């Protein structure tokens, strides 16, 4: 047998559901039919499944359930309380090793309250510190701890940084290895854990998590604090445990979908994502029943560093996706698709991040095509193709090892460093190529089966190839050879059999861009371009088109002021490269009003490359914007602009 699995012990989760009616309109357990409870899933013990970015020792002992009881302290920016872990261990296991990052541990006890010996190892800037607990006979351990005010996974926002300006806000972002800065557990994507949480917050604030919420407990008042309680009864990789606290309201879109947002945003958000139920239908059509109960979106404050994060049952979304015309909603299709690719079948290590993102980008396209039609999707695919070419150039050309799907990120490097657009675009291209080769029906049936066969399990590139050979290519192994599975996954560049989907609508746009670049006649530019056409048009224009032509466009389209973040970004990318002076103010406004990495990092990079005026402007804008950015965004931009300001003090 190729795989060996760690014997896992079943345990009884001692959670009692109150079964009470929700005290408010917000979704709670009562409204959530909870599907079958999963057994403790296996750990993959193949060499490729070894995670060098976790200190955990899952072969000896592994966490199977995490139970959090935490108080949120908005004065000191600290979460404090207890994490109680259920452990499955080999009979002669000595110890369990957990991941932590700047956690202050005050006590570790067993289930009966007896102290256990533990040791917090040396802290490493990327991985944090191992917490080794001597188990003895204990199979439950309770850790009293608190987080550091600058915990990497957490952003504490002052009231001024929210829409309502009245309450502070907190949100977490776990992927890839940040959750160890607020949860002491085995923080590896291959080690799945069920979990529950009790979160106590100041009166007036609401708590949401990536799990079913028990509204009845949420209503319990204790002094001027309220405790909310959550339960995730399906085993998830720990990076998917997520928390947000703020002045949040819920608006339903359908029975099982809706949005959470600050009050001033919730109607707008529900309208923008009104097609969410259609996305869910399309996804279920393709990949089988949605297994997580509800599917809600949480709209975060603008400092959220990502476009979206696929936290189970509750995708976290940047407000920059709300354009007002639903033109950027593919983001929700993407995060929803992760409910299968990523959250059901999960990359065993971050070296196979493409298994999460490539499959998801492919499925996102299929959902979009089903809901909005092939023409709209062809535009997205064509943009993706250009994006892939640009990414390859940026990464040093088609021979660069960075352009491989499976990457090898050594322990000395941050897993973030291997997470590029390659995983998304080349990953999706790979699956499109296979789909084309075997036919859509056969491919769809295979992919649906793949999600079922590996549900709630970790996966590697080697495991994928093995599965494909045993199923999809069983009767035609030569087909696998022709496609070149190994070349696609383990070699750099994009194989020649890749499919470039071309949008017919873009033909007119490309012609208009060409004509405009040549003559500068703005009447040659269509005035009714949709978002994807506008982006194509802007990306088509030469980076040295000159300020006169940009002024003509500015006059006609006012892209310096557009509230569509993707258009604003494409415009600024062009205008700053051309040193177009009126873009400076717009760049400053854009960079100080949101902190999404995808927009922020390239624009600072571009400014730093514009000799004479650029670096000074970048530094001036950053001095203002930095305090509002998420720790991850700060770390990224610090490197780009060579920030020498006082670094945030380390706390232990
Ligand atoms: N899982 C990612 C976000 C992520 C990636 C967080 C790596 C941390 C590390 C999410 O699903 C994603 O891909 N978001 C994209 C948007 C999507 C529409 C391509 C983003 O944030 O830009
Ligand atoms: Zn994704």
Domain CATH number, residue 435? 1.10.390.10
Is 598's C-beta closer than 6 angstroms to any atom of ligand 1? yes
- How are beta strands 457-459 and 345-347 bridged, if at all? parallel
Structural domain includes residue 104 = no
Verify whether residue 466 is a known catalytic residue.
no
Q: What is the pLDDT of residue 23?
A: 31
CA of 87 to the centre of ligand 2 (A): 30
Asked if residue 406 belongs to a domain, the reply is yes
- What 3-state DSSP class applies to 613? coil
261 belongs to a structural domain = yes
Per residue in 256-289, pLDDT (tens digit) is 999 999 999 999 999 999 999 999 999 999 999 9
Q: How far apart are CA 613 and CA 581, in angstroms?
A: 10
Asked whether 235 lines ligand 1 (CB < 6 A), one says: no
Dist. CA 503 → ligand 2 center (Å): 23
Same domain? 327 vs 354 = no
Encode pLDDT of 587-598 as tens digits: 999 999 999 999
Q: Ligand 1, closest atom to CA 364?
A: 18
Residues 426 and 557 occupy one common structural domain: no
CA–CA separation, 263 and 250 (whole Å): 8
CATH label of the domain that carries residue 32:
3.30.2010.30
Pocket test for ligand 1, best of 307, 328, 387, 414 (most atoms within 8 A of CB): 307
- Catalytic-role residue among 175, 262, 310, 335: 335
Lowest mean pLDDT among 13-22, 444-453, 502-511, 615-624: 13-22
10 Å Cβ neighbour count for 510? 14
The whole-number average pLDDT for the span 505-528 is 97
**Order of strands, edge to edge, in the sheet holding 206-209?**
154-157, 169-172, 243-246, 206-209
Instruction: Give bridge partners of residue 214 from the DSSP assignment.
Output: 229
- Residue with CA closest to ligand 1 atom 20: 307
How far is residue 405 CA from its own chain's centroid?
18
Contact assessment for residue 132 and residue 119, using Cβ atoms and an 8 Å cutoff = yes
542 Cβ contact partners less than 8 Å away, ≥ 6 residues apart: 517
Q: Specify whether 357 is catalytic.
A: no
Whether residue 447 sits in one domain with residue 532: no
Whether 634 is in a domain gets the answer: yes
176 C-beta closer than 6 A to ligand 1: yes
Task: Determine if ligand 1 sits within 6 Å of the CB of residue 177.
Answer: no
Q: pLDDT tens across 115-154, in order?
A: 999 999 999 999 999 999 999 999 999 999 999 999 999 9
| pLDDT tens column, 628-646 | 999 999 999 999 999 987 5
211 plus 355 within the same structural domain: no
Residue 419 Cβ < 6 Å to ligand 1:
yes
Per-residue pLDDT at 16 exceeds 60: no
Question: For the chain, what percent of residues have pLDDT higher than 70?
Answer: 92
Atom of ligand 1 at shortest range from CA of 175: 8
- Nearest-CA residue for atom 1 of ligand 1: 309
E-assigned strands of 410-492?
A: 457-459
Identify the pLDDT of residue 20: 28
What distance in Å separates the CA atoms of residue 635 and residue 179, rounded to the nearest whole number?
17
Of all protein residues, the one whose alpha carbon is nearest to atom 5 of ligand 1 is 175
Residues 271, 398 within the same domain = no
pLDDT of res. 12: 25
Q: How many CB atoms lie within 10 A of CB 148?
A: 21
* pTM of the model as a whole: 0.93
Q: Is 308 a pocket residue for ligand 1 (Cβ < 6 Å)? A: yes
Say if ligand 1 is within 6 A of residue 437 CB.
no
**CA pair distance 73, 82, nearest whole angstrom:** 14
Cα-to-centroid distance, 335 and ligand 2 (Å)? 6
Is 362 buried (19+), middle (13-18) or exposed (0-12) by CB count in 10 A? buried
Measured in Å, residue 307 CA sits from the centre of ligand 1 at 6
Q: Is the CB of 317 under 6 A from ligand 1?
A: no
Confidence of residue 31 (pLDDT cuts 50, 70, 90): very low
Q: Which atom of ligand 1 is nearest to the CA of 307?
A: 21
Average pLDDT, the chain: 92
* Distance from residue 104's CA to the centre of ligand 2 (Å): 32
Residues 6+ apart with CB under 8 A from 435: 443
Cβ neighbours around 481 below 10 Å, total: 11
Ligand 1 in reach of 335 Cβ (< 6 A): yes
E-only strand ranges, 179-313: 193-202, 206-209, 212-214, 221-222, 225-236, 243-246, 249-252, 257-261, 295-299, 308-309
| Ligand 1 atom 14 nearest Cα | 308
Residues 540 and 597 in one domain: yes
CA distance 231 to 19: 13
High-pLDDT (> 90) share of the chain, %: 90
Q: How confident is the model at residue 216 (pLDDT cuts 50, 70, 90)?
A: low
Check which CATH number belongs to the domain holding 551 and give it: 1.25.40.320
Alpha helices in 454-530 (DSSP H): 461-470, 477-483, 485-490, 505-519
Is 403 a member of any domain? Answer: yes
Closest residue by Cα to atom 8, ligand 1, is: 175
pLDDT in tens, 227-262: 999 999 999 999 999 999 999 999 999 999 999 999
77 lines ligand 1 (CB under 6 A): no
Ligand having the closest approach to the CA of 153: 1
CA distance 596 to 307: 7
Question: Does any domain span residue 352?
Answer: yes
Looking at the structure, tell me whether residues 21 and 154 fall in a common domain.
yes
Q: Which ligand is nearest to the CA of 237?
A: 1
Residues 238, 172 within the same domain: yes
In a domain, residue 85? The reply is: no
Of 424, 580, 622, 629, which residue is the catalytic one?
Answer: 424
User: For residue range 66-100, what is the model confidence (pLDDT) as tens digits?
Assistant: 999 999 999 999 999 999 999 999 999 999 999 99
**Domain ranges, residue 283:** 14-55+121-130+145-331
Q: Which of 305, 331, 357 is the last residue of a domain?
A: 331
Q: Are residues 363 and 463 in the same domain?
A: yes
Beta-bridged to residue 20, according to DSSP, are: none
Higher pLDDT, 219 or 35: 219
Same domain, 185 and 151: yes
If we measure between CA atoms, which residue out of 594, 216, 178, 649 comes closest to residue 419?
178
For ligand 1, atom 15, the nearest C-alpha belongs to 307
Atom 18 of ligand 1, residue of closest alpha carbon: 331
User: 274 and 359: one domain?
Assistant: no
Residue ending a domain, choose from 270, 300, 331: 331
pLDDT, tens digit, 9 for 90 and up, residues 159-203: 999 999 999 999 999 999 999 999 999 999 999 999 999 999 999
Question: Smallest Cα–Cα separation from 241: which of 318, 317, 153, 147?
Answer: 153
Interval between CA 308 and ligand 1 midpoint (Å): 5
DSSP per position, 285-338: HHH----SS-EEEEEPPTT-SSSEE--TTEEEE-GGG--SSSTTTHHHHHHHHT
Instruction: Say yes or no: CB of residue 201 within 6 Å of ligand 1.
Output: no
Spatial distance between the Cα atoms of 590 and 603, rounded to a whole number of angstroms: 10
Of 40-54, 496-510, 539-553, least confident by mean pLDDT is 40-54
* CA 568–ligand 1 middle distance (angstroms): 20
Rg value, the chain, Cα:
25
| pLDDT one-digit tens code per residue, 473-509 | 999 999 999 999 999 999 999 999 999 999 999 999 9
pLDDT band at 649 (very low <50, low <70, confident <90, very high): very low
Whole-number pLDDT of residue 217: 59
267 and 206 in a common domain: yes
- Determine the distance separating the centroid of ligand 2 and the alpha carbon of 424, expressed in angstroms: 8
Count how many domains the chain has: 3
Q: What does the DSSP 8-state code read for residue 239?
A: G
For a mutational test of ligand 1's pocket, the pick from 175, 309, 364, i.e. the residue with the most ligand atoms closer than 8 A to its C-beta, is 309
Ligand 1 atom nearest residue 338's Cα? 11
Query: Looking at the domain assignment, is residue 632 inside a domain?
Result: yes
Q: Is the confidence at residue 5, as pLDDT, over 50? A: no
pLDDT at 3: 30
Q: Which of 341, 357, 531 to mutate to test the pocket of ligand 1 (most atoms within 8 A of CB)?
A: 357
CA 180–ligand 1 middle distance (angstroms): 19
Query: Last residue of some domain: 300, 331, 362?
Result: 331
């Amino acid at each position: 047998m190729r795989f060996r699995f760690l014997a896992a012990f079943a345990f009884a989760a001692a959670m009692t559901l109150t079964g009470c009616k929700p005290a408010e309109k917000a979704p709670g357990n009562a409204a959530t039919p909870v599907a079958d409870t999963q057994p403790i899933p296996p750990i993959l013990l193949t060499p490729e499944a070894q995670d060098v970015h976790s200190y955990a020792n899952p072969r000896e002992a592994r966490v199977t359930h995490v139970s959090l009881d935490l108080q949120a302290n908005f004065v000191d920016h600290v979460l404090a309380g207890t994490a109680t872990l259920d452990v499955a261990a080999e009979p002669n296991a000595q110890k369990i090793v957990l991941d932590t990052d700047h956690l202050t541990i005050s006590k570790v006890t067993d289930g009966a309250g007896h102290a256990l010996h533990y040791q917090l190892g040396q802290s490493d800037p990327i991985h944090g510190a191992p917490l080794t607990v001597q188990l003895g006979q204990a199979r439950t351990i309770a850790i009293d701890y608190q987080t550091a005010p600058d915990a990497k996974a957490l952003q504490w926002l002052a009231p001024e940084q929210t829409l309502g300006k009245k309450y502070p806000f907190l949100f977490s972002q776990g992927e890839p290895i940040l959750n160890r800065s607020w949860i002491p557990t085995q923080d590896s994507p291959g080690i799945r854990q069920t979990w529950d949480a009790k979160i106590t917050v100041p009166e007036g604030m609401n708590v949401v998590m990536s799990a079913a919420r028990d509204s009845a407990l949420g209503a319990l008042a204790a002094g001027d604090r309220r405790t909310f309680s959550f339960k995730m009864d399906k085993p998830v990789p720990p990076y998917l445990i997520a928390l947000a606290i703020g002045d949040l309201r819920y608006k339903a879109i359908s029975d099982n979908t809706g949005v959470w947002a600050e009050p001033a945003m919730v109607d707008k958000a529900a309208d923008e994502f009104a097609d969410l139920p259609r996305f869910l239908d399309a996804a279920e059509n393709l990949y089988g029943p949605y297994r997580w109960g509800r599917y809600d979106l949480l709209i975060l404050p603008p400092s959220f560093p990502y476009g979206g994060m696929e936290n189970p049952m509750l995708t976290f979304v940047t407000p920059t996706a709300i354009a007002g015309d639903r033109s950027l909603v593919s983001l929700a299709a993407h995060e929803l698709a992760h409910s299968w690719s990523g959250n059901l079948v999960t990359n065993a290590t971050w070296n196979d991040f493409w298994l999460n993102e490539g499959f998801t980008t492919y499925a996102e396209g299929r959902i979009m095509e089903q809901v909005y039609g092939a023409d709209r999707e062809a535009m997205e695919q064509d943009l993706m193709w250009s994006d892939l070419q640009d990414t390859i150039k940026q990464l040093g050309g088609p021979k660069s090892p960075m352009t491989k799907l499976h990457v090898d990120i050594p322990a000395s490097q941050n897993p973030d460093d291997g997470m590029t657009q390659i995983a998304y675009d080349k990953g999706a291209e790979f699956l499109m190529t296979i789909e084309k080769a075997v036919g859509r029906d056969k491919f769809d049936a295979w992919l649906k089966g793949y999600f079922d066969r590996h549900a709630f399990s970790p996966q590697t590139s080697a495991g994928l190839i093995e599965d494909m050979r045993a199923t999809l290519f069983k009767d035609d192994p030569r087909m696998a050879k022709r496609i070149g599975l190994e070349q696609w996954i383990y070699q750099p560049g994009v194989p020649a059999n890749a499919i470039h989907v071309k949008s017919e609508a873009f033909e007119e746009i490309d012609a208009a861009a060409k004509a405009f670049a040549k003559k500068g006649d703005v009447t040659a530019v269509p005035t009714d371009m949709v978002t994807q056409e506008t982006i194509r048009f802007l990306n088509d224009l030469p980076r040295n088109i000159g300020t006169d032509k940009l002024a003509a466009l500015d006059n006609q389209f006012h892209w310096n002021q557009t509230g569509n973040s993707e258009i604003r970004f494409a415009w600024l990318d062009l205008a700053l490269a051309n040193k177009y002076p009126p873009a400076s103010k717009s760049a400053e406004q854009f960079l100080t009003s949101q902190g999404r990495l995808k927009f922020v990092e390239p624009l600072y990079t571009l400014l730093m490359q514009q000799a004479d005026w650029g670096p000074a402007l970048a530094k001036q804008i950053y001095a203002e914007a930095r305090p509002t950015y998420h720790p991850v965004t700060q770390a990224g931009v610090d490197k780009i602009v060579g920030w020498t300001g006082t670094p945030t003090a380390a706390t232990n």
